[in-house]
Structure 1
Amino acid sequence: MTSAAARIRAATCLDLPVGSPGGSVELFLDLYAGTAPLIDATAFMLQPIAAQSPAPPGVGLLPVDGKCIEGRRFWQYVDRLTHALTGHLAPDAVDVVHLQHLAFGGTPALRAALPHHPQIALVHGTDLLFAETHPDQLQVLRDTAARADAIVVPTGAMADRLRRLAPGVDSARIHHIAWGIPDHLHTATPATTPSPDRVLRLLYAGRLSAEKGGSRLVSSLSGVRDVHLSIAAPEGEFDNLAPELDRSGIAFSYLGWLSRPQLWETFAGHDVLVMPSTTIEAMGLVALEAQACGLPVIYQPVPGLRDALGDSALPTDFTSPAAVAKTLETFRSSADLRAELRAGGRANAANYSLARTAEQLTQLGRELVASRPCHSGAARVRSLG
């Protein structure tokens, strides 16, 4: 256990509105939110778009609008966000800065608000994807990669992709710290409900942005018989996919955008989680959560997922309907394979502890603070009120 004297306080900002979907949001809340957060931090998000989304305990809300990703309006948004953060942060109360993403507005704003503190940049994956297609995001990424004291990647694939985008980055500052899933999932998981018939119950859970492969999944399943696809995704994104599903003839159900506990319970009523991602994933935390709950995973072996899952899950090629049909039939017909994937999945998920992630990030912060002791703070952070 860390002694009180060794504790340090971080400042961090995820410039997404409270209530936004996505793995980086869930990880952020897992680490920094709550009455007793795993990482001692002053944490901020943006005010929610929907008034019914309350602020999570321990997370301050910034009333900054105009979020965008390119052009003059992006830099104007960064200036407004910097001003808001500066008004709510007392530098003496902060020991280390956690930059969520190498790009997007929160990173340059927080760097400008606390320019002299040790900085740890956490790579989430979407930052790399956006930097590949948006010049302003690439500029922010390269500048952050050059200036941050440490860069944390959850998988080797993230480090490889980062080096391609920022060739001059110092590899000695890249640290591999795997993301984790809530530790209670490793010990208390819902019982699996057996399928009452031969129909294979598939579950897709997550956002349906292009890189997640929703359209590819529909195409790959359109000729497969005796399957039922359940989708847990944001409503607007599901609405965009619904016409393709209707035309495909696939039996499907829309479950809504589920809370984490609801999703964990939902795992028990399905036979397999499908992950058809098209490009790269930071890690695929939903796949690890499914494995911890005893739900096997079939996935496209893209970088990130391949690192996190390996042979504990079943790879297939979602670009090939024939390959997907063969994989599903093999899975359906082999009780031994299903049992092996359940056992292997649980063992793999056990390697990814959220508490370990938090402790490793905190320890990295301690090391940086020890090398720059003048920034250890003790004052209080001004409230958002």
Structure 2
Amino acid sequence: MNIVFSTTRQWNPGDEFIFMGCMNLLSHHINDFNPIIYNRNPQTRRARKVDIVKAIDNFLGKDFIEKFLDNSVKDRFPMDYADMVVFAGSPEWRGRRMKKLYDSVIEFNIPTIFLGLGTSGKFSFTDEHFTKTEQEVFKSALLITTRDANTLEGLKPVTAYQLPCPALFSSKESRTVKSVKKIGLMYGTNSAVACNNVSNETYIYMMEMYRNILKDFGEEYEFEFVSHYIDELSSFKKDFENHKLRYSYDAKDYLEIYKQYDLVIGYRVHGIGISASMGIPGIMFAHDERAVTVKGFGAELVSVGTDYQELKTLIKNTIKEIEGKSTKLQDHKKSTMKKYLSLFNEKIK
């Protein structure tokens, strides 16, 4: 089978962790398939209301002005090769950037599944929030799962199921953490590009918490920072010059990076997710509505602005209970896998 996955490449590693999880999930139901990506990277696929350059290229039937050389689904070429389309969980699972994908599903009558859809706000399944084409695709979907209650409520007119985000399956392996020796801290800034940055309030809060954590726990545990986006590298040298930062351009490398830790703390939802997939508990700085996703990863949530002493107590208790939390996390992963596969067996023939 040729399966097209909606994801991003070289933009937000979290999207690629979800993609990895979706592929691992599907491999239990469909033994062999060719993974193809529909790359939503805004550098590759723009979402302008009026794009004269693209209109000219489409009219001429060639990439005459603007070259689209990315090794992914292209706008001009037909998706007649696709046997299935998987809309992998992310807040961007509809809208202008997704038009080609929805149009192709209708044009070629391609079976679709939506896995782990999430949102940062409430919406309704109406013309106000969905195009006619999007509504048609949703109504004919084989399976729809959401990772939060708002999305489940918004999709009430179509049958959907609430399950943890597929990033929970991004790693094929997991382990039981018996004690804490090494802790990963997720670094982020307010100066990175939109959608890969945090607010000034969140940035200031995290820097204060991390400095306190290093002061109070630094002699007992080994710490490393983890960065997901290149814009963060320069700022890190100014904020924590004498500490180690782990980063890679390749999302798959984060399996090896997060694998080293016994506990992770930070603001990246899917940094918590890929760690949970390996049996590693997490503590999440909840800086926007999407943070509720980590409940599906068995993580603790700390709202931005929470007093440090409260966070310190939570860290101590988590370390004390680490083996039980890790075991519970692995059991949760197995039971969630069974629920997904049960739906696959029922819905995807």
Q: Which has the higher helix share?
A: 1
Q: Over residues 94-116 of structure 1, what are the superposed CA-to-partner deviations in whole Å (9 max), with x where a residue is unaligned? A: 45443454325553102223424
Q: Are 2:71 and 1:84 equivalent residues in the alignment?
A: no
1:147 alignment counterpart: 136
Please state whether the residue corresponding to 1:210 is helix, strand or coil. coil
1:110 alignment counterpart: 101
Please state whether the residue corresponding to 2:303 is helix, strand or coil. coil
With structure 1 as the length reference, what TM-score do the two structures score? 0.59
Q: Are 2:233 and 1:239 equivalent residues in the alignment?
A: yes
Q: Are 2:86 and 1:98 equivalent residues in the alignment?
A: yes
Q: 2:280 is matched with which residue: 279, 287, 295?
A: 295
Partners in 2 of 1:47 and 1:294 — Cα distance?
30
Please state whether the residue corresponding to 1:70 is helix, strand or coil. coil
Partners in 1 of 2:87 and 2:276 — Cα distance?
29
Q: Measured at CA, do residues 41 and 214 of structure 1 come closer, stay the same or move farther in structure 2, by a change above 3 Å? A: farther
Please state whether the residue corresponding to 1:350 is helix, strand or coil. helix
Q: Measured at CA, do residues 11 and 203 of structure 1 come closer, stay the same or move farther in structure 2, by a change above 3 Å? A: same
Please state whether the residue corresponding to 1:84 is helix, strand or coil. coil
Q: CA RMSD in A?
A: 4.8
With structure 2 as the length reference, what TM-score do the two structures score? 0.64
Q: Measured at CA, do residues 98 and 41 of structure 1 come closer, stay the same or move farther in structure 2, by a change above 3 Å? A: farther
Q: 2:244 is matched with which residue: 250, 253, 259?
A: 253
Q: Over residues 268-296 of structure 1, what are the superposed CA-to-partner deviations in whole Å (9 max), with x where a residue is unaligned? A: 5434211336xxxxxx4442442343432
Please state whether the residue corresponding to 1:203 is helix, strand or coil. strand
Please state whether the residue corresponding to 2:77 is helix, strand or coil. helix
Partners in 1 of 2:295 and 2:99 — Cα distance?
33
Q: Measured at CA, do residues 361 and 110 of structure 1 come closer, stay the same or move farther in structure 2, by a change above 3 Å? A: farther
Partners in 1 of 2:170 and 2:44 — Cα distance?
33
Q: 1:317 is matched with which residue: 303, 318, 327?
A: 303
Q: Over residues 189-218 of structure 1, what are the superposed CA-to-partner deviations in whole Å (9 max), with x where a residue is unaligned? A: 3877853xxxx7343289972359555422
Q: How many angstroms does 1:22 deviate by? A: 2.2
Partners in 1 of 2:340 and 2:315 — Cα distance?
33
Q: Tell whether the 8 Å contact from 1:299 to 1:316 is kept in structure 2 after alignment.
A: yes
1:69 alignment counterpart: 47
More displaced 10-residue stretch of structure 1: 39-48 or 112-121: 39-48
Partners in 2 of 1:311 and 1:113 — Cα distance?
33
1:62 alignment counterpart: none
Q: Measured at CA, do residues 177 and 245 of structure 1 come closer, stay the same or move farther in structure 2, by a change above 3 Å? A: same
Q: How many angstroms does 1:318 deviate by? A: 3.1
Q: How many angstroms does 1:146 deviate by? A: 2.0
Q: How many angstroms does 1:72 deviate by? A: 0.9
What residue identity is the alignment partner of 2:100? A
Q: Tell whether the 8 Å contact from 1:288 to 1:349 is kept in structure 2 after alignment.
A: no
Q: Tell whether the 8 Å contact from 1:12 to 1:44 is kept in structure 2 after alignment.
A: yes
Please state whether the residue corresponding to 2:93 is helix, strand or coil. coil
Uncovered stretches (5+) of structure 1, i.e. residues with no partner = 1-8, 50-64, 133-137, 164-168, 278-283, 367-385
1:204 alignment counterpart: 186
Q: Measured at CA, do residues 143 and 365 of structure 1 come closer, stay the same or move farther in structure 2, by a change above 3 Å? A: farther
Partners in 1 of 2:180 and 2:130 — Cα distance?
47
Please state whether the residue corresponding to 1:102 is helix, strand or coil. coil
Uncovered stretches (5+) of structure 2, i.e. residues with no partner = none
2:347 alignment counterpart: 364
Q: Measured at CA, do residues 191 and 271 of structure 1 come closer, stay the same or move farther in structure 2, by a change above 3 Å? A: closer
Identity rate, percent: 6
Q: How many angstroms does 1:21 deviate by? A: 3.6
Q: How does 1:1-385 map to 2 (within 5 A)?
A: 9=1, 11-14=3-6, 16=8, 18-32=9-23, 40=33, 43-46=36-39, 67-73=45-51, 76=54, 84=74, 87-90=77-80, 94-100=82-88, 101-104=92-95, 107-116=98-107, 117-118=109-110, 120=112, 122=114, 128-129=119-120, 141-143=130-132, 145-148=134-137, 149-150=140-141, 152-160=144-152, 163=154, 170-178=156-164, 179=166, 180-182=168-170, 184-186=172-174, 189=175, 195=181, 201-204=183-186, 209-210=196-197, 216-224=205-213, 225-227=215-217, 230-239=224-233, 241-242=235-236, 245-246=239-240, 252-257=243-248, 262-267=253-258, 269-276=260-267, 284-300=269-285, 305-306=291-292, 308-309=294-295, 312-320=298-306, 322=307, 324-332=308-316, 336-353=320-337, 357=340, 360-361=343-344, 363-366=346-349
Q: Tell whether the 8 Å contact from 1:232 to 1:254 is kept in structure 2 after alignment.
A: yes
Q: Tell whether the 8 Å contact from 1:316 to 1:327 is kept in structure 2 after alignment.
A: yes
Q: Tell whether the 8 Å contact from 2:148 to 2:292 is kept in structure 1 after alignment.
A: no
Q: Measured at CA, do residues 12 and 190 of structure 1 come closer, stay the same or move farther in structure 2, by a change above 3 Å? A: same
Q: Measured at CA, do residues 12 and 201 of structure 1 come closer, stay the same or move farther in structure 2, by a change above 3 Å? A: closer
Please state whether the residue corresponding to 2:335 is helix, strand or coil. coil
